[in-house]
Structure 1
Amino acid sequence: MGRYGVLGLLLIINIFNYIDRNALAGVSPLLKTAFQLNDATIGLLGSAFLLTYTLVAVPFGIWSDLWKPQKVAAIGILIWSLACVLTSTSTSETQLFIWRSLVGVGEAAYVATAGTIISKRFDSGQRSKMLGVFNLGLPLGAALGVVLGGMIGERLGWGAVFVIVGVPGFLLAVMAWLIRDYTPMQNPVAGFPPTEVKDKEGFDWLKLKGTLKLPYLLVVLGYIGISYCFGAVINFLPLYLTRIMHFSLGKAATKSGIIIVLAGLLGAPIGGWIADRWYVRYRGGRGFTLLLACLVSAILMWLGIGLQSTLLFGLAAFFMLWHVGVAAAMVFDTTQRLVWNSATAIAMLFMHLLGDVPSSAITGLISDQYGLVMAFNFLPVAMLIGGIAFGLSGYLQAKSEGSTY
């Protein structure tokens, strides 16, 4: 399978990754009724998934640096698909928490490895764009998860949703297992063919510690800020549209899906294209692209809340989703290739542990006490902090490389 075939397969798997993750949001009104849950508990269900997802990401990242990332990814796909199907058997709140936690274990294995599988096949000048294509799975899968959850749930019940979206993962796990190993090639020198890039040393903790410097740590902080905002929006947008804007469950799920998918289809590739072009001219270009995108998105989100406008929510999501490929590329820009899987996993650990793990629970608690509108108004602040961190990382990268226009 060629590199574009691998990219296409990993994109399809990533779509199902986010479908299985976000189907819960689509059926959350049904779960509230079936299990007598409040908003805080709905938030905690999302946090249960993200907590295990976060805690096991680093071990899976290190394992894939030591072994074959495509095999680790395949094992993860199998685990999350099985756990998703078994969610349909839940008869108590505790069982829901258990199965959602295991979905997080499997998805962590995949996300910790897929970016490296792709990045080894494309040079640094293409990385934001290709990772942006891969990360189209986020808006497409999140939208489909919410829409399918709402539509199937209304017709067949919430349990059928998890069976229907989980079963395809078994086939995808086999296909991921069959991806061949790949050795990156250096650019050819005039008169000579391309040569393999060989690692002089294997993974070790000192190498990992030495590569985690301030520009990388600022990328992680940027991830935390945008993850805090986006995670809560994904989890609570259907509830917001039903409760505050008085849409039916099916219409709220569809509206949420349209906002997310259109924003991702346009935002991820446009953001990646702009960031790559800016990066070629100026090494801080990727960070500055995200600084501007987060600023505009925060302003639009506040306006959307104030004016109760789904159009403004959609525009805010468009700029918010510029980050999906660009931030991933910045992780690779600021670390050594030998520890890419581990560096990605560490970024995931903190972006979830301090980002969307607490944000769903905190948003639910604020909503129960002060209302969902008040809870939503806090979210753009975190995104602004993330944008500033991305911008500072870009500035430090440019300064260290002596980059100028």
Structure 2
Amino acid sequence: MSEPTLLPRRPSAGRYALALLLGVNLLNYIDRQVLYAVFPLIKADLALSDTALGLIGSAFMVCYMVSAPFFGWWGDRGSRPRLAAAGLALWSVATAAAGVAPGYRSLLAARAAVGIGEASFGTVSPGLLSDFFPKERRARILALFFLAIPVGSALGYLLGGLIGHRFGWHAAFLVVGLPGLALAVPLWLIREPARRKGEEDRNGSAPASGGYRSLLRNRTFVTNTLAMAAMTFALGGLAQWIPTFLFRMHGLDVARGNTLFGAITVVTGICGTLAGGWLGDLLQRRTPRGYLVVSAWGFVIGTPAAAWAILAPSLTHCLGAMFVAEFFLFLNTGPLNTVIVNVTRPAVRSMAFAVNIFFIHALGDAISPAVIGGLSDHLGLRTALLATPLAILAAALFSFLGGASIARDMDRAGE
């Protein structure tokens, strides 16, 4: 494969890349989350059990994580913008295809294809964006990029709930799927920046020498990935089942439940993500453990809040606790992703995000929807959802453990 054209970094190029990649990432999470907004409608229309319903979400995540290592290897050797653009086109078409799916199997296949398309974008985009900016601003830049998680997720819930309530779940997929095709060409044409040099380049070794093996020997990368996996288990389970929880336990219809949950998600997501990026960069100037300290305490505070959101008898207490829990969970988005960039060599960062994607989903939201669905069938949804605060507490433990090795691993990465 021919080498992509590498250009010097210019402030205007960085701002354009940030705006474009943020826009694509918004569509990424809208198309991902719209499914969960219409869960009750799909369940009623296709007469599915909770286990079967959860498997639709798991099909997306399994394909997403399994294809990520291939795209990570490709991204460190070829054009990252073109790989991301091809993935955007694929997942947009697949999302729209879910809107014409006649039954369970075709819907399952469409969501699996969405996972493959989104994996190509997810593995290359954080490293691509990081190469446009200096390391002192990374957490804030990545926090802006990952604002797409709360905002896109909220829009997915809002659009899915409103469109699904009025026109049916098929229409929801069609409306959110097709706009992505408009951004595929601009993304394809973005110019690749010069990749930042690391120790392996100064020492003259091959850029990707021992890439995947070296990542698994990187202690901070491993503990950080385990923290993100535990967080992803919790967030995946909550994201997919809270709208249904509000429908069943608090008597909200699909449109109102998704509107309330979406509003909480977008406000806490924006505030928590921006606060985490700012606090992470601030504390990182004082200690190499800064990003991990912010994340660890965010998880500690978020654990009891998530538990009370599930156990609270009234809707008001449930939503209030959910607000607190989501704020402190989103606090970790910028810092934990910045740790991946800081402790890995520049020439293997696409592979680093690929490994991270594989494990956080293999141990996280690839299994949590089906696990919670299965527990719900036997124990009830409220009891099943209590698995999520335990996962958040585990994420705090792994974040604290990562602080012991981060200075050494940043030095090895040339950071």
TM-score (norm 1): 0.93
- Select 1:303's aligned residue among 304, 308, 311: 308
Report the CA distance between 1:325 and its aligned residue. Answer: 1.5
Is residue 57 of structure 1 aligned with residue 62 of structure 2?
A: no
- Percent identity, aligned pairs only, is 31
- The separation in 1 between residues aligned to 2:167 and 2:215, in whole angstroms, is 50
Contact persistence 2:84–2:120 (CA under 8 A): yes
Q: Match for 1:179: what amino acid?
A: I
Q: Which moved more, 1:136-145 or 1:305-314?
A: 305-314
| 2:366 alignment partner, SS class | helix
What's 1:189 paired with? none
Q: Match for 2:50: what amino acid?
A: D
What's 1:22 paired with? 33
What's 1:87 paired with? 98
Report the CA distance between 1:179 and its aligned residue. Answer: 0.5
| 1:305–1:209 distance in 2 versus 1, CA, 3 Å | same
- The separation in 1 between residues aligned to 2:191 and 2:87, in whole angstroms, is 17
Q: Which moved more, 1:353-362 or 1:202-211?
A: 202-211
- The separation in 2 between residues aligned to 1:28 and 1:101, in whole angstroms, is 16
Q: Any idea what the Cα deviations from partners look like across 1:73-125, whole Å, max 9, x if unmatched? A: 00100110010011111111111110000000000000111101111111222
Aligned length: 392
What's 1:155 paired with? 166
User: Please, what is the CA RMSD of the aligned residues?
Assistant: 1.7
Contact persistence 1:263–1:314 (CA under 8 A): yes
What's 1:333 paired with? 342
- Select 1:318's aligned residue among 327, 332, 337: 327
- The separation in 1 between residues aligned to 2:283 and 2:294, in whole angstroms, is 8
Gaps of 5+ in 1: 187-196
Give runs of aligned pairs for residues 6-405 of structure 1, distance below 5 A. Answer: 6-184=17-195, 200-212=204-216, 213-308=218-313, 309-398=318-407
| 2:367 alignment partner, SS class | helix
Q: Any idea what the Cα deviations from partners look like across 1:287-324, whole Å, max 9, x if unmatched? A: 11111000101111112222242011111001001121
Report the CA distance between 1:126 and its aligned residue. Answer: 1.0
- The separation in 2 between residues aligned to 1:123 and 1:154, in whole angstroms, is 46
- The separation in 1 between residues aligned to 2:306 and 2:357, in whole angstroms, is 25
What's 1:4 paired with? 15
Contact persistence 2:343–2:409 (CA under 8 A): no
Gaps of 5+ in 2: 1-11
| 2:38 alignment partner, SS class | helix
| 1:185–1:351 distance in 2 versus 1, CA, 3 Å | closer
Report the CA distance between 1:203 and its aligned residue. Answer: 3.7
Q: Match for 1:290: what amino acid?
A: S
Contact persistence 1:199–1:338 (CA under 8 A): no
Q: Match for 2:283: what amino acid?
A: W
